[in-house]
Amino acid sequence: MNFRFLGNSGLKISEITYGNWLTHGSQVENEIAIACVQAALDNGITTFDTADVYANGKAETVLGHALKGIRRESVQIFTKVYWPVGPDPKGPNDTGLSRKHIMEGINGSLKRLNTDYVDLYQAHRYDIFTPLEETMQAFADIVRSGKALYIGVSEWSAEQLRQGQELAKQMGFSLISNQPQYSMLWRVIEAEVIPTSEALGISQIVWSPLAQGVLTGKYHLGKQAPEGSRATDVNGGADMIKRFMTHKVLSNVQELQPIAEELGISMAQLAVAWVLQNRNVSAAIIGASRPEQIAENVKASATVLPGDVMERIDDALADTMITDPGETATSTPTQRFS
C-alpha cells in the first residue's frame, strides 16, 4: 500500500481508502461489514471514511465497533456533517453547517465511532444559508478542542474552496481536502476544482472511482443487471447509477477490457489506478460488500499507467465523459448519452 500526504498537511493516508456509504448498517450484515474492515486492514488500508448520515448513524456505529481494539494512532478516521441524523421528527437546525448543528454533529459522531477524535472532519456539502464565517469558526473551535485534527469539505466548487480557505487561514487552520465524485466517466472537477485546489494546498479524496460499478464491466448491453448489484438497489443505488446505464456508455466501457487485459489487471483495478494518476488525488475511496473485493481493488495501489494507456482510455470514452463543471453529483444530468 502506498501512502500520500493529504493537501499541504503532514497527514499521510492510504491511497486506497475504505468507505462505508451504502453498505454498513444497511446493505450488508454487521458481521460482513466487520469482516470487510478487517480485510481492509489486512491489505494495508489505514484510512476509513464514513459520515453521520450514512444509514442514519448506523454506519458510524458499525465502523466504530469494527475498529475496536485497533491501535487508534495507526488508523485515520474521517467523517462528515451536514445532513439530518437521528429519529424523526427532525428539528429546524438538524441540517446544514450552523454552529449548532456542527457542534452537535461532532459530538454524535464521536460517540457512535467510539473515539475521542476524528482525524478529518468534513463539511458534507456547502451550506448556502449559513454565513461561511460561522461555519469556519465552528470548525476552528473543533480543531482547537482536539475533537478533529484536520478539516475538509465535500463537493465544494472552486469558488467555495477559495472563500473557505481564505477564512480558515484567518482563523488559524487550513482546509486540506475536498471529497468529490471522480472517475474516468465523471470528470467535472478537472476544469476548475483541481487547479484551484492545487493552488490552495487542498487535495482530493475521490468517491465512486468505479462510476457506481459501471467501470468494472459487469453491466452488459441487453443483459439483466446482476442480482444484488448497485443497479438493482431500489434504496438509492439504482438512481445514482442510472445516468451511466445507457447504450453508449456501456458500449464504450467494454472497450476498456482489452486495455486492462494487456496490463494484466481487472477493469476495476484499471479504474482505481486511473484516478490515482492525478497528482491532486490523495486517495480513492472503495467500498465493498464482500471482503475479497477489497483485496482485488487494493492491487491498484502503486500501479502506474503509461501515457499511451491514458490516451487510449480517453479515446474510448471521449463521447461519454461528463466534464461540465456545472454538473453535481445530485443534479439532473444536462449531458445525456443514448
**pLDDT, tens digit, 9 for 90 and up, residues 62-80:** 999 999 999 999 999 999 9
Q: What is the CA radius of gyration of the chain?
A: 19
The percent of residues above 70 in pLDDT, for the chain, comes to 90
Strands 148-153 and 175-178 come out as parallel
Q: Phi first, then psi: what are they for 299, rounded to 5°?
A: -65, -15
pLDDT at 217: 87
More confident residue, 52 or 289: 52
What confidence tens digit (pLDDT) does each residue in 122-179 have? 999 999 999 999 999 999 999 999 999 999 999 999 999 999 999 999 999 999 999 9
Residue keyed to cell 479524496 = 205
Which residue is listed with cell 465552528?
Answer: 138
Please tell me which residue in 18, 54, 126, 182 is annotated as part of the active site: 54
Contacts of 242 (CB under 8 A, 6+ apart): 231
Q: Do strands 118-123 and 281-286 pair parallel, antiparallel, or not at all (unpaired)? A: unpaired
- If you write DSSP's letter for every residue of 64-131 in order, what string do you get? HHHTTTS-GGG-EEEEEE-S--SSSSPPTTSSSS-HHHHHHHHHHHHHHHT-S-EEEEEESS--SSS-
Tens digit of each residue's pLDDT (9 = 90 or more) over 94-126: 999 999 999 999 999 999 999 999 999 999 999
Q: Rounded to the nearest 10 degrees, what angle do helices 291-298 and 30-42 cross at?
A: 30
What pLDDT band is residue 222 in, cutting at 50, 70 and 90?
low
What nine digits make up the cell of 26? 444497511
54 counts as catalytic: yes
pTM above 0.85, yes or no: yes
Task: Give the model's confidence band at 225: pLDDT under 50 very low, under 70 low, under 90 confident, else very high.
Answer: low
Q: What is the pLDDT of residue 326?
A: 86
pLDDT at residue 334, rounded to an integer: 42
| Contact predicate 139/121, CB 8 Å | yes
Give the pLDDT of residue 199: 98
- From residue 132, alpha-carbon distances to 40, 139, 160 in Å are 36, 11, 9
The whole-number average pLDDT for the span 257-262 is 96
- Averaged over 231-252, what is the pLDDT? 71
Q: How far apart are the first and last CA of the chain?
A: 39
Give per-residue pLDDT as tens, 314-326.
999 999 999 998 8
In this structure, are residues 131 and 90 in contact, taking their beta carbons and an 8 Å threshold? no
Question: Which one, of 298, 285, 291, lies nearest residue 32 by Cα?
Answer: 291
- Give the C-alpha separation, 231 to 213, whole Å: 9
Asked whether the beta carbons of 221 and 250 are under 8 A apart, the reply is: yes
CB 112 within 8 A of CB 106: no
When pLDDT is cut at 50, 70 and 90, the band that residue 231 belongs to is very low
Which fold does the domain 3-317 belong to in CATH?
Answer: TIM Barrel (3.20.20)
> What are the start-end ranges of the E strands in the chain?
3-5, 12-14, 16-19, 47-49, 76-81, 118-123, 148-153, 175-178, 203-206, 281-286
